[in-house]
Structures are given as C-alpha cells and as structure tokens.
Structure 1
Amino acid sequence: MGVPKFFRYTSERYPCLNELVKAYQIPDFDNMYLDMNGIIHNCSHPDDSNPHFRITEEKIFQDIFHYLSILFQIIKPKKLFFMAIDGVAPRAKMNQQRGRRFRSAREAEKLEEEARKKGEVLPSEKRFDSNCITPGTVFMARLHEQLRFFVQQKISTDPLWSKVKVILSGHETPGEGEHKIMDYIRWARSQPDYDPDTRHCLYGLDADLIMLGMCTHEPHFALLREEVKFGKTTQRATSPEETNFFLLHLSLLREYLEQEFISIKDNLPFKYDIEKVVDDWVLMGFLVGNDFIPNLPNMHISNDALPILYSTYMKVLPMLDGYINEAGELNLKRFEIFMQELAKLDKEKFQDTYADLKYFEAKTGRRPNANERKEYKPNNDDTFNVNIDDIKANKPDDELQALIDATHDMFIEDVDGDDEDYEDIDSSDEEANFNMEFKLHKKDYYMNKLDYSKVTEEVLASQAEGYVRAIQWNLHYYYHGCPSWCWYYPHHYAPYISDIKGFSDLKITFEKGEPFKPFEQLLAVLPSASKQLLPAPFHSLMTHEESPIVHYYPQHFETDLNGKKNDWEAVVLIPFIDECQSAHSLMTHEESPIVHYYPQHFETDLNGKKNDWEAVVLIPFIDEDFN
C-alpha cells in the first residue's frame, strides 16, 4: 500500500532520517522482513517507458534470486528471514489495484502504438505484462515454486541462511505482503517468550511501511530501501550492485515527531505520551489518501497538507480530554472536534474560486449560469438527467438552472435566518454571496464527481458516515489486522471536510466476510487487455457484449487529476466491481463459462434404492483445475 509523496515529504522534512548503508557499519538485526512485490516489479519491468524492452521469465527469476541474496547479505539477520508476497487483498484494496492495472495496460498499448507510428520495429516477442504480478496467475505459481527451490538451496549451501528461521508466505496466502508481516509481528509479540529488545528490519518500497512500523511501537525497528532520486521523474537503479541502500530508523523518526509537536507537551490537560502522539500522527496520514480511501478535497501533500494537519492538531489537542486514535480505535467525539477545526480549510481554499466568480460577474454583469459553472456528467437517477450534448452546445438546461436558482433562493433565506453552519459570518451581502457560492460549489462537486442528482441532508450524512467508517477500517487494519475482507469505500472521491460532521454517536461495525478466491480477484482487478492471464473460458466474460459483467471492463475510460499534478496520481474512472452480481452471474447467466455446473433442472436415479433421499443426483462434477 502506498501514500503518494509521503516518503519524499518525510525525508525532506527530517533530513537526517535516512542513513546510507555502508559495509561493516550496519547494526545487528534479529529479524528481517521483505515485502517482496517491490522486488518482483523492479526485476521484471524496470523500464515501462521503453516499448522495445523484453525480458524472459528465466531472467526475471534469476534477478529476483540475486536481489534476495544481496539483501540478505547486507543485513545478515540473526534469527528470522521472512519473505512475504502479496496474496489476495481485501476488497478495499481492489479498487486501487483495478485502477492501476487498467491504467498500466492502456499506457503500454499507447507506447507501442506511438512507436509503430514513428516507424519503429518492435520485437516479435510479447512484452511482459506486469499485471501478471497478481495472485492466482500462472506466473505467480511458477515464481512461488522457484522461490521454494531457491530457499532450500540457500539453506543447504549457505551457512548464514542455515542459522536462521526462513518463512516464505506466498501468493496463495491471503493478505498484502506488508500486512502479513505485521500479523506475524503481532503474533510473535503475544508469545510469552518474546524478547522486547528484538531488533527488526523491514525492506519495502511503499511509504506506508513507515506508518506500519510506527504502529508497532517497537523500540528497535528500521526500514531498508533503495535510494530514490527525486525530480521530474522518480529514478531507481535496477541492479543491487549499482544501488545505494538506506536505513530509516523509526526510533529517530519518533524523536523527530517529538520535536514536531513539542509545543503541546506542557499544554495538555492530560498526560503527554509521545507514543499516543505517534498514533494520532498515523491517523492524520490517512487524511491525505492511501490505497483504501481517497484524499480529502484540497488535502494534497504537495500543497502543504501535512503541515496544515499538524498545526490543526496542535491547536485542537489541548482542547480535548484525550488522544484521538486510541491504539486503533477512533474516538469519534474527539475526531469530530478535530475535523470541525480542519473544516476551515474548505473556505480558505474556496477563496480563489470565489475570486474567479467575482471576476466573471464583473466582466459580464451576471453570475455564471449552469452551463458555465460546471459540465455535469450523466447520472443514474431518472429523476434528474442532464443532457451532456446540450451542455457542450451551450444550450440551457431548464432543470439544472431551476435547481441552481432554487438553491440560490434557499441559501439567501438561510443567510437571512439563523444558519447554524455559519454563525460566525455577518449578514452582509458580500458574505451572504460568499456562503451561497460556497455551498453551490460543494453541490457542484457532489453532483459532478459523485453523480448525485440531489444533494440532500441525507446524502451529506451518508457521505460523512462512509468516510468516518473508512478511517476506522484503516485504523483497525493497521493496528489489529483486516476487520472486513468485503468492505470497501464506494466512491472515487471523498466528501468535503466541512460536511464530515454529526458522527460522534455513530456505531461502527464490520462484517468479517471472506477473502476472494484468486480467480475472483483476477476477474475483479484485471482489464480485458490482460485477459490471457485468466483461464480461456473466462475471456468472453470480459469481452463478449452479451456477458453479464462486460460493463466492468471498459475499453475506454477517463482519468481525473483531481488537484494532483502527475498522470500516475489521477483517479481512474472505471466502475466498481459488484461482488454479488459478479459471483451470481457466473452461476446463472447463459454466457458464463461455468454455468453448466449449476443446472436448474436435473435428474435423479434410485439405482436400486427405495427412498428418494437415497437416489443418485445426476449433476456434472466440478473440474477443480478449470475453476
């Protein structure tokens, strides 16, 4: 799991955090853990921008084994070497996996098409499809088998390997690699003979490993990762011999954070505890977005989101009666107070937009109409259907204009009356206009981004509840393990901060559910361009126009930067998978490749018996290999 730009911000904010690894100057570590997927990706497709690049499976495996050998040689763990490959992820992660794989497939096809247009001759061999690095593919099965042989060979021939316990958690074990590692650490700490002075080293490329490591509150925990050169493009060396490795000691980060929040140390009405401050720091990291939940509007690390969060926290915490994140449990009352203070950012950020609206009004002598304000997308509510072609042709949409006019009148009344949301605003015309435009701006956001036809109090309440529920899911996932395999955040965008309110009495529970089966995850996250990674009978489900789930595999889709600057950060606007519909359609739809296993009508044969319940039921046997 990643938090875009978090590692870069942390490294630049705390410049002594990363220590260059030098031979014979490495501290002793008892346990070493590898989040393997970063290694697999780095060794299999190191240059995605080159359409001519080709690599064999044998070469990939050799490079992975070599990388593992180098990493082991650098750290030389004394007790444990734990290698974790991503298994089937929680449903909440699949939305991000799905978007990333759709985008990577499209970018690869685009690069090859551009190369052909330039007259370049591409190799006849198929390019390596990085989407095969997904649990359940033939590639991952072969890699797992080769890794087993590699581990056995190293234990038999290398004295350093033979002295430690080696664990390989493969793709067939559910869970993300880093979270399988955290599950193991939590289990180890629960054992009566656990040594609290155990020294841990975790290798991985994702920035969220910093947060995961801090969640353990282990006194001796370091992260190992390659040097990353920041610039217009992030560069990373492919060969371990050519790579500078850095250690990030989380004990040092804890000291940095203590200095970051030093101003509140003597101003709290309760006992100051840096470990609890760290827990709240982890919580604040979720608000800029991660693999499970989108960032809040205007909350971008590149636009100083983290300093804003930290300053808000230091202002609010002395007014509370305790910490917000209680070891993975969200204190809703305290969190609501924090969010209310943070909500002031919404209006501050709207000032620029409001200035543009005033400029338009000054130049034209009128307010922008519905068409000029925003180009709405069609939505699924028949009670309000905007004609996108009319908008593009600048034809007035009576329903949309009527809605905005009615909203205008409603908010003028709100300002004239007692508007509880803006008690601190005077009733001057300018301020009244600002408040009205601000609410219209947010309505535009919900209608355009989240496809709501009407933005009611119920809609806003459901948005607030859904977001808070997502925060709690994240906390539980980080501190205790996956609380629900089937839960996911059902929107591409988060609500405005000022609308996340009224949740202090919310009761949050999760249904545990079960992990997807590997072939179900492949159907859930792969684009049709990677259909060859699935068994052949499933291909038609992704491409045939009569398939009951073909709409989940669009050939063309849009992306939305949504305030970000880089294409890889854009929101991929593809439909969410409906788990129930997908599973049910496989059992019922006539185009399903396995529908014949679920006959509606079948015969029975008494075969010499006397009772119906003794009869042989004549239905086809399940082909396990096929499934």
Structure 2
Amino acid sequence: MLSPWGENAECDGLMIDANCMLHPCVHSVLRDADVNETDSSLHQRMYNATCEYIDHVASIVRPQSLLYIAVDGPAPRAKMNTQRHRRYKSAKMHRLSTLASAKLNLPKRSFDTNALTPGTRFMQGLDAFMRDHFSRRTAVKGVDIVLSGSCVAGEGEHKIMAYIRACGNPDVRFCVYGLDADLIFLSLSAQRRAMTLVREKVYFRKSSKNSVAERDMRDVEFDMLDIGKLREAFAADVTRRTGATYDTDKLIRDFVMYAYFLGNDFMHAVPGISTHMDGLDCLMHAYLKTLRTQAIHLVKADGSINSTFLQLFIAELASSENANLEREANARRYRAAPDVKRDPSMTGAQHQHASLLSAFENVQGRQQDTIHAGKAGWKQRYWIQLFGLDPSNGDEWEHSRRQVVVNYLEALKWTHQYYTSNTQNWHWHYRYEHSPCLSDIAEFYTDINSIGLPKTKPWKPLEQLMMVLPPDSRALLPTSYGEAMVGDRIGHMYPEDFTVYAALKKFYGECIPNLPVLVADEVLETTRTLKLSASDKVLNRLEKGDVMVRAGAEVGSAAE
C-alpha cells in the first residue's frame, strides 16, 4: 500500500493541495529573511518558493494530462470555528516568540502567518503570481494546468474531491498531493480504485527531516499510498476479524462515516475515543459487532445514513465509555513532551528561544483535572464544568443536554455530506466547544434523517476574515473592518488575550481557547454598513469557478 514513488508509477492527473506547500515554504523563506527586507520582496520570495516546489513535485510525479492546483478559499462556517481557534493561538505564540526574541536580542523578520487566509492582500498576490508563473512555465509538458485560487469558495482538498467526483471516467488515474490526514478518508470516500496519495517521506523520531522548510527540495523523498490497495487490505482485515465477506464499497462507505467520531475540523472527538489510544480499533470493534446483527450497512447505497444502525452502533460504543476514559487518563500521564535537541547550526540564544517556546507548548499539569473522566460522577462534572449546566434544574439539565446531542448529530450528518458530496450548507456549525458524552448521545438519540440542513450561499472572503482573525491581525483587514473589530459594537467578540482549557490536554496545540461566542449576524450587520475602497471590493469578490491557466497543447518546458 505505502511505497516510495518510483519511475514506474503512473498518473493522469496530479491534484495539489497548495496550502500544504505554502505553509512550509513561507517558513523556509522566513528562516533566512533579513530583518530589513521589504514586504514586497519577502512575499515574492514566498510565492516563488511555493511555485517552485509545486514544479518539483510535478516533475517527480509526471502527470500525463492534468496539473490541478487548489488553494484554500473561503471555508464553511463549520471549519471557521477551528480556523478561529488556530489563528488566536497562533497570534499568542507569535507574541510570545517576539517577546522572547527581544529578550534574547535575536533579530527576527516579522510576518503575520495569519495572512495565509483567503481575503488578504497576501493571498490575492499569491493567486496572481501563480497564474503568471504557470501560464509561462511548468516542469511538465503537454498537460492542462488548472488553478482554483483563494477567491473560489471551498477548502483545497474539497475542491480537489469535487473535481474528481465530477470525472465520469473511473479509469482516470488521479494522484493527490497533500499532508492532511483527512485526505485518506476523502480519497476513500471517492470510491475510486485508480487513485494514489503522494507526500514527503515521514521519518519517525527524526523530526528535523520531516519539515520541508528544513530540507533542500532536491533531497526530499516521496511516498505514495495506493488507495485501491488500501481498500482491498481493509476489506481483507474485516474478513479476517469476522470470518465473513462483505462488499468492499459498502465497508468503505461505513468506515468513512464512523471515523468521524475520532474528530476532525468540523466536530470534536467524543470522550473516550482518541487517536492516541487506539480509537479507530474501538470504533471498528463496535461497528463489526453491530454489523453482525444488521441486515444492511451504516450507509445506504444512495448515500443516506441507516439511522437504526447508527443508534445501535452508538449504544455499543457507550457501553465501554468508562473503561476507555480510564485507560486514556492513565496513558496521558506518560505521553512524552517534545524534546528540543540542540541543532548544531543554532546559537545559544536560538536554542534558548526554541526551548522557551517548547516549554510553553507543554501544558500538562498547568490546569488541574477536576472532571476525573471515568470515575464515579464524572459525567455530571463534565457537563457542569464544560457546558455550565446546573443539574439542580431538572428540566433545563435534560433539555440542554438534548440540544447538544442534536447539534452533534447535525455535525455527523453535515460532515457526512461534506465528505461525500459538494457543500450545500455553508452556514451551519457545531455551536459548542466540546462534544457530548457517548452515553448521552445514546440516551437522547434522534433520528438523524429527520435533521434538515438547508442550502445556503458561501461566505465572501472578507466575511471569513472577520470570522476567524484575532485583533492582533487586524492590519490584514481593510481599515474600516479593523477598526470595527476593536470598536464598541462588536469589539467584545474579539478579545486581545484569552485563556485555554488545558485539563485533559498535554500540548498547547490540543487546547481549546476560551473565546466569546462570535455572533455572525451581528458581525455581518456591522460590516455591511462599512465603506470599502475599490481595491477592497475586489478582495471581497468570489470567483465562480476554476481557471484554465494553460492548455496542454501550449505548455512548454521549465526552461522557457
């Protein structure tokens, strides 16, 4: 299934999730940036590094007919919550890094990485640079080059999957480049056998080799994952476990669906089901136990969900909830913090700077665990502390938990639609910062097929920026928007500082920031009254589709 990308590997269409390249290339340029370098020069070098790396991957994979480059555009609201969390935490880390650099007298070129969000001048510049670069030169000849830029709504990997789903020929060999683990599930959901994923080789316990930013591109090795072989291996594993043979397509559809319980960018993992603690095995055990009792699968042939199967599956998971939570709590104590090894190229001050940031990242023990998940009474403590519920108010106690469960079931249905078909509802989101307990989902289960998700329009780029950026990054916004962010009307939704919920967490990146609820209607009502310059209006414009940058018959060589 997993093997080095070799000379004999074949690919018709190479699909690139460009943001997976953009971030490491930006950091690579920043590593050697002069403190006095102009923004224009810095940005051009970042754009060029990204395009050159795309060229390099294309020269390795050698697509025969198509190079498709997808840049993240405005995302659904369900993803914006995650983006908001990451950008607030990124801003806080940036402040800490800047303070540490000043204290250690380390010169550092400032750059707000939150600029890598659709709607900013930086991303507008990247789109223009890519169109120009790939219209004039490319590392592969005779292929169509299609660009879906940051002004086309949708995340890069989902634009890629929409393009693949629209391809009626099942024999087209697609190769998808990307680093996101979700790509495996998305690729499986495409139900195509002639499909591979390609990414840089991962070196376990050798973290310095795992960053593209720290390696010369000529030294990077690539691995490929054959999705067709993965499908076959998965079906064979089910047969080995059960002694029965099932339809592979049906097994894969079900697998993608129940894997949502591990958590993703749109919904949180349920307590007791963790990727760190064999969560996938727990899910598969419950699934196979349920499958033996059912005449049909979790996902029907038409793509809809078998509600009876789902209800029984959740009840089976809930039966081992306490045991899983206790096992997870015991394992958490022994998860090692990342070790900052001395890089020979680092000065003493640089190593001290890295150590300070690493110490901040390790949050274990900073916040006392008062829930004691898995211990007697833990569920009541969970709802009181994480959701602010009052068990003494019986009606409200039950009503509120039921509301959370229904919203979580909405999350399951929305995510299933998002993974298996094109986005329809751009405004739905999971309203809470934590998931309900499995036993409560089982208790308050509602027929998932009774849940409606009406069709809505995508967000405009500047609307998304207002939904995800912290006030530290308001310079990335039009002046009027930045002023509104710290103004009297909506400023209370954009805190300058914040705490994180660190109990049950090991690392800062896992923590959920305690942020005020962002009321989208209030934000949009405020921004609609603000004036935009002509150039700002261009930033806020959505394009309707992809751009054919260059047709295959016109494509020349990289030397042009």
TM interval, shorter chain, is 0.7 to 0.9
Q: Which runs of 5 or more structure 1 residues have no equivalent in the other structure?
A: 1-16, 356-371, 376-433, 598-619
Shift of 1:503: 2.9
CA offset digits 1:508-559 (Å, max 9, x no partner): 1102111111111111111111111101122222223x2x211221122122
Task: Tell me if structure 1 keeps the 8 A contact 2:120–2:539.
Answer: no
Shift of 1:186: 1.5
1:580 counterpart = 2:557: no
Partner in structure 2 of residue 178 of structure 1? 157
Partner in structure 1 of residue 3 of structure 2? 19
Task: Tell me if structure 2 keeps the 8 A contact 1:312–1:341.
Answer: yes
1:499 counterpart = 2:440: yes
Partner in structure 1 of residue 549 of structure 2? none
**TM-score between both structures, scaled by the size of structure 1:** 0.72
Task: Tell me if structure 2 keeps the 8 A contact 1:85–1:170.
Answer: yes
Task: Tell me if structure 2 keeps the 8 A contact 1:51–1:108.
Answer: no
Partner in structure 2 of residue 149 of structure 1? 132
Equivalent position to 1:332, from 302, 307, 311: 307
Partner in structure 1 of residue 10 of structure 2? 28
Partner in structure 2 of residue 483 of structure 1? 424
**TM-score between both structures, scaled by the size of structure 2:** 0.81
SS in 2 for 1:326: coil
Task: Tell me if structure 2 keeps the 8 A contact 1:18–1:246.
Answer: yes
Residues of 1 paired with 2:534 and 2:11: CA distance?
Answer: 52
Partner in structure 2 of residue 65 of structure 1? 51
Equivalent position to 1:138, from 121, 146, 158: 121
Equivalent position to 2:180, from 186, 191, 206: 206
1:526 counterpart = 2:469: yes
Shift of 1:561: 4.0
Task: Tell me if structure 1 keeps the 8 A contact 2:196–2:227.
Answer: yes
Letter paired with 1:513: T
Task: Tell me if structure 2 keeps the 8 A contact 1:473–1:483.
Answer: no
Aligned length: 489
CA offset digits 1:363-416 (Å, max 9, x no partner): xxxxxxxxx9949xxxxxxxxxxxxxxxxxxxxxxxxxxxxxxxxxxxxxxxxx
Task: Tell me if structure 2 keeps the 8 A contact 1:33–1:81.
Answer: yes
Task: Tell me if structure 1 keeps the 8 A contact 2:12–2:64.
Answer: yes
Partner in structure 1 of residue 378 of structure 2? 441
In structure 2, relative to structure 1, the CA distance for the partners of 1:70 and 1:578 (3 Å cut) is: same
Task: Tell me if structure 1 keeps the 8 A contact 2:11–2:173.
Answer: yes
Task: Tell me if structure 1 keeps the 8 A contact 2:315–2:439.
Answer: yes
Partner in structure 2 of residue 296 of structure 1? 270
Letter paired with 2:417: H
Q: Which runs of 5 or more structure 2 residues have no equivalent in the other structure?
A: 331-367, 541-560
Shift of 1:259: 2.9
Partner in structure 1 of residue 112 of structure 2? 129
Between 1 and 2, higher relative CO (CA 8 Å, sep ≥ 6) is seen in 2
Which of 1 and 2 has greater Rg? 1
Letter paired with 1:459: S
Shift of 1:567: 1.9
Q: 4+ residue stretches of structure 1 with deviation over 6 A?
A: 47-55, 352-355, 620-623
Shift of 1:352: 7.7
Partner in structure 1 of residue 146 of structure 2? 167
Residues of 1 paired with 2:46 and 2:441: CA distance?
Answer: 47
SS in 1 for 2:16: strand
Shift of 1:62: 1.7
SS in 2 for 1:149: helix
In structure 2, relative to structure 1, the CA distance for the partners of 1:232 and 1:337 (3 Å cut) is: farther
Residues of 2 paired with 1:561 and 1:257: CA distance?
Answer: 36
Task: Tell me if structure 2 keeps the 8 A contact 1:49–1:111.
Answer: no
Shift of 1:349: 4.0
1:305 counterpart = 2:279: yes
Residues of 2 paired with 1:576 and 1:48: CA distance?
Answer: 34
SS in 2 for 1:81: strand
Task: Tell me if structure 1 keeps the 8 A contact 2:404–2:436.
Answer: yes
In structure 2, relative to structure 1, the CA distance for the partners of 1:122 and 1:262 (3 Å cut) is: same
Task: Tell me if structure 2 keeps the 8 A contact 1:333–1:504.
Answer: no
Equivalent position to 1:38, from 20, 45, 49: 20
